[in-house]
Structure 1
Amino acid sequence: MKRQRYYTYISERLETLANRIKTNGKLNVLDLNIHAESFFRDLLNIVLKFNLQSANTSTANTEAIDLIDEVNKLVVQVSSTATKQKIESTLKREKISAYAKLGYNIKFVFIADDAKNLRNITYNNSYNISFDPQQDIIDKVSILTTISQLSIGDYSLVYDLFVKEFGGAPSQVKITSNLATIVNLLAVEDLEEGTSTSVLDAFNIDGKIIFNELELIKETTINEYIPYYSKLDSIYKEFEREGRNKRISVLRKLTSLYEKELCKPELSNVEKFFNVVTNLEEYIVSSNNLDDIEEDVIEMCVKIITVDAFIRCKIFKNPEGYNYVAS
């Protein structure tokens, strides 16, 4: 899934940045901290919906405050040093009194070290500025946790920011696949016209569903996509008339994906079914011959292909006497 690919890339880059900052700090090379401040400003604006800008460009500029959001009344200190002393030395600065009177909230963003232990400490907050250690101490772990819960749209924005800042987006080697060809053709079919299940034995199919403990998705998935069997079957037959083995290669790919799920005995058959769907969709999307098709249409086509493979005895066990074409 895209989320998994995004998270892997983002977490690796964030960890690399943290380690580089810590190493440079030991050498007293602090240039990276300055650049990281701008990066975290943009990251927090996406992830937490802030309107942060550099305090150096604000009329409210103050020592020890790096970022300010005048809309949400928020000031932020970005630091590589995660200690109680660091927090309290900031809280006691006289300028913090002015922010406190204006109703500002202060947050601390630690860009190198884990700050988990700092959230359970009581601090000397001299001017009583709004500050809750549980909510207002942010580190790479809490940032990654928040990112992992974002909508896919915001997730993509975060991913794009990391790619622009760090480069080296993971390259995806795209190949031509018969599955993508099938999806291209299925996507332009009028699925409301001419659907038929007359050649299928519903009793036999129900038996296979029960045998494989897939009753939970019988009505919502399997029966929902069975009517498109004839559309897909006609596409397969057209290729066979032309002497091309697309149907064989497609069904073998489905079998291969299913075999991998057999190695996961802890999963239910329903989970295995949807894992096949997910992995098949990702394989198709990574093909260089896939047309520009809406994501929901691709998902629909993938489910049609998967249910068809289920009917054709290519995935999941067959009860004794099962024959998908016997009507």
Structure 2
Amino acid sequence: MVNRQKYYNYISDRIEILSSKIKLNGKLNLLDLNIHSETLYRDLLNILYNYNLQPSNIGKANAEAIDLIDVEQKIVVQVSSTATKAKINDTLKKEKIKGLSESGYNIRFIFIANEAKNLRGKSYTNEYNISFDSNYDILDKSTILEAILQLPIDRITAVYDLIQKEFGEKPNTLKLSSNLAIIVNFLSKENLYDVSNIIQLNDYGIEEKIIFNDLSDIKESTFDEYKIYYGILDRIYGEFIREGTNKTLSVFRKITSFYEKEIPNRELTNVEKFFNIIGKVEEHVLKSDLIREIPEEEIDMCIRIIVVDAFVRCKIFKNPRGYSHVVT
């Protein structure tokens, strides 16, 4: 659900910005943005409703009454910034509508600036009886966003990609280069059922550190559960070190930085601080497109393995005197 919310928030913000700009430009009689928006909404409707809309005026000076057409599904769409009953009635009485009605087309209106909820459910002068239901066929930014929110994750991702490309924003460098996300990605591909080559850790030393930091309440559910993957993660880190990269070091430094931000908060228990670190690592990792295809439950599991491992390696929380994370 985290990715869905992130994508939806981004999409809704941009559509709202676009709507505001269209209204402002309209007051100044600047209509270029309306033309570009028609293309955006064509692609957006195609994703939302599985249409194959194309501009209706290809090869023509102008296609009266309609902007977009799907010949196969017999859908025509008028894209407009003017959300009035008169606008709909004027369109429905155009001569072009007669031929479309006779050919079995359905007409839909999408208003890209103002909301059109006051237009839905009303009667209109549909003298050519083209297929048109004012409850269903009048769209605006609110109905579009509602439809987006109901999409499966793969299609809401497609909408997100479309909006991002249309707005021309540069990719966030974090999305391309989060080393923590790279480690999660590698760890997710490992067979975590197979711990036959488990590295024996100094369990006495780990337990001493757990007690020293008042983390005993989560010893069995968290530390005992995830420390067994030390060897798998150690191999991944070792491969990066042999390649001469700084991924391992940067991962440790990042987790340590999350821990350091928790230290000053005297009102929280160390158990709460530990889970806050997990939450911050997860928030950081989820910003990376690298893990888009990994189920959220696997991401959470991998992050817990990484944070427990950082505890064992003395990267977070205080160490009892003489504690070392060396293996047996």
TM category (shorter chain) comes to 0.5 to 0.7
On the 8 A contact 2:68/2:76 being kept in 1, the answer is: yes
What is the CA distance between 1:236 and its match in structure 2? 8.5
Who is 1:53 aligned against? 54
2:198 to 195, 200, 212: 195
Number of positions where the alignment pairs a residue of Structure 1 with one of Structure 2: 298
What is the CA distance between 1:41 and its match in structure 2? 1.3
On the 8 A contact 2:252/2:310 being kept in 1, the answer is: no
What is the CA distance between 1:261 and its match in structure 2? 12
The one-letter code of the counterpart of 1:68 is: I
1:296 to 294, 307, 313: 294
Q: Per the alignment, do residues 120 and 278 of structure 1 end up closer, same or farther by CA in structure 2, a change over 3 Å counting? A: farther
Q: Per the alignment, do residues 250 and 149 of structure 1 end up closer, same or farther by CA in structure 2, a change over 3 Å counting? A: same
What is the CA distance between 1:137 and its match in structure 2? 1.3
What is the CA distance between 1:277 and its match in structure 2? 6.0
Take 2:148 and 2:69, find their aligned partners in 1: how far apart are those partners? 21
Q: Which runs of 5+ in 1 are unaligned?
A: 287-291, 316-327
On the 8 A contact 1:103/1:129 being kept in 2, the answer is: yes
TM-score (normalizing by structure 1): 0.66
Who is 1:104 aligned against? 105
On the 8 A contact 2:223/2:308 being kept in 1, the answer is: yes
What is the CA distance between 1:105 and its match in structure 2? 1.3
The Cα offsets for residues 200-231 of structure 1, whole Å up to 9 and x where unpaired, read as: 69x9x9xx99957xx9xx6xx98874542454
Task: Report whether the alignment pairs 1:252 with 2:252.
Answer: no
Who is 2:286 aligned against? 282
Take 1:150 and 1:161, find their aligned partners in 2: how far apart are those partners? 15
Who is 1:320 aligned against? none
Q: Per the alignment, do residues 281 and 38 of structure 1 end up closer, same or farther by CA in structure 2, a change over 3 Å counting? A: closer
What is the CA distance between 1:53 and its match in structure 2? 0.8
What is the CA distance between 1:9 and its match in structure 2? 3.9
User: How many percent identity over aligned positions?
Assistant: 48
Equivalent residue of 1:40, what SS? Answer: helix
Take 1:176 and 1:102, find their aligned partners in 2: how far apart are those partners? 53
The one-letter code of the counterpart of 2:302 is: C
Who is 1:84 aligned against? 85
The one-letter code of the counterpart of 1:101 is: E
Task: Report whether the alignment pairs 1:41 with 2:39.
Answer: no
What is the CA distance between 1:138 and its match in structure 2? 1.3
Q: CA RMSD in A?
A: 5.1
Take 1:198 and 1:186, find their aligned partners in 2: how far apart are those partners? 20
Q: Per the alignment, do residues 302 and 262 of structure 1 end up closer, same or farther by CA in structure 2, a change over 3 Å counting? A: farther
The one-letter code of the counterpart of 1:194 is: N
The one-letter code of the counterpart of 2:285 is: E
What is the CA distance between 1:11 and its match in structure 2? 3.0
Q: Per the alignment, do residues 78 and 198 of structure 1 end up closer, same or farther by CA in structure 2, a change over 3 Å counting? A: same
Q: Per the alignment, do residues 134 and 223 of structure 1 end up closer, same or farther by CA in structure 2, a change over 3 Å counting? A: farther
Q: Per the alignment, do residues 179 and 234 of structure 1 end up closer, same or farther by CA in structure 2, a change over 3 Å counting? A: same
On the 8 A contact 2:67/2:79 being kept in 1, the answer is: yes
Who is 2:159 aligned against? 158
The Cα offsets for residues 165-224 of structure 1, whole Å up to 9 and x where unpaired, read as: 3313463457987746865885787752423788769x9x9xx99957xx9xx6xx9887
Take 1:209 and 1:135, find their aligned partners in 2: how far apart are those partners? 57
Equivalent residue of 1:64, what SS? Answer: coil
Take 2:124 and 2:266, find their aligned partners in 1: how far apart are those partners? 54
Take 2:223 and 2:104, find their aligned partners in 1: how far apart are those partners? 57
Take 2:21 and 2:14, find their aligned partners in 1: how far apart are those partners? 10
Q: Per the alignment, do residues 190 and 71 of structure 1 end up closer, same or farther by CA in structure 2, a change over 3 Å counting? A: closer
TM-score (normalizing by structure 2): 0.65
Who is 2:69 aligned against? 68
